Amino acid sequence: MSEIVLQAKGLKKSFKSPTGLLTVLRSIDLEVYAGESVSIRGSSGSGKTTLLQLLGGLDVPDSGEVKLKLSSRTMLSPHRCLGQGVGFVFQNYQLMPELNAWENVALAAQIAGQGESEKEAQALLALVGLSHRIHHMPTQLSGGECQRVAIARALINQPAVILADEPTGNLDEVTGKDVMNLLLEVVAQRNTALVLVTHSKEFAERTQRRFFLSSGVLTPA
């Protein structure tokens, strides 16, 4: 068995809501191994986005802990090392509107303190099939193209794991399929682990391990 790159133990998360405390995640345990792909399905409002945010360190759990493999030895809580070790792909792309495709990809590397990122950004855009669009602004790109840029951006800092939250949710069926194919292809090719949140059974089938989130717990599906 290969090594663990992301590990969640006993995650619990609740939110204050108008109707009192809303417990979204009760007890989540998850181990993601290097290079594998994992899918999470669940009904709307079941807490999939919340879980991904905890896994990526965008929020902290009420109890339990998340550990992320950064280098060969250290495991760190991901909210202490945002931008390193984890790459995000969001449903609505979340590109910087004032930067072109190339700059959007390079920005992630610059923020992470990686110098000389321009070449790498160009190579990644070629990898996602956008070498002819690198100077386009997000408004000049189609949804599918935007998501490809976002995938390139998620890859540039060589994360151990990519967290993708319904990456095809805003795309039509054909484009969605293309983007999903690309995503699965590049993570396999670069031996990057993938945690995919999706509504689509079809896409979930293509991952190596599948989970279902309901009532705040993960069950294998």
Ligand X SMILES: Nc1ncnc2c1ncn2[C@@H]1O[C@H](COP(=O)(O)OP(=O)(O)OP(=O)(O)O)[C@@H](O)[C@H]1O
Residues interacting with ligand X, by CB under 6 A? 15, 17, 22, 24, 42, 44-50
Distance CA 76, CA 147 (A): 28
Least distance to other proteins from the beta carbon of 106, Å?
9
CB of 18 to other proteins, least distance (A): 16
N- to C-terminal Cα separation, the chain: 21
Residue 110 phi, psi dihedral angles, 5° rounding: -65, -45
Nearer to other proteins, 101 or 204 (CB): 101
Beta-bridge mates of residue 67: 7
Q: Per CB under 8 A, which region of 91-99, 170-178, 186-194, 197-205 contacts other proteins?
A: 91-99
| Phi and psi torsions of 55, nearest 5° | -65, -35
Among 37, 46, 49, 84, binds Mg ion (CB under 5 A): 49
Contact 62, 27 (CB under 8 A): no
Q: Which is nearer to other proteins, 108 or 213 (CB)?
A: 108
Q: Does 82 bind other proteins (CB under 8 A)?
A: yes
Nearest to 35, CA basis, from 207, 219, 221, 214: 207
Is there binding between residue 39 and Mg ion (CB under 5 A)? Answer: no
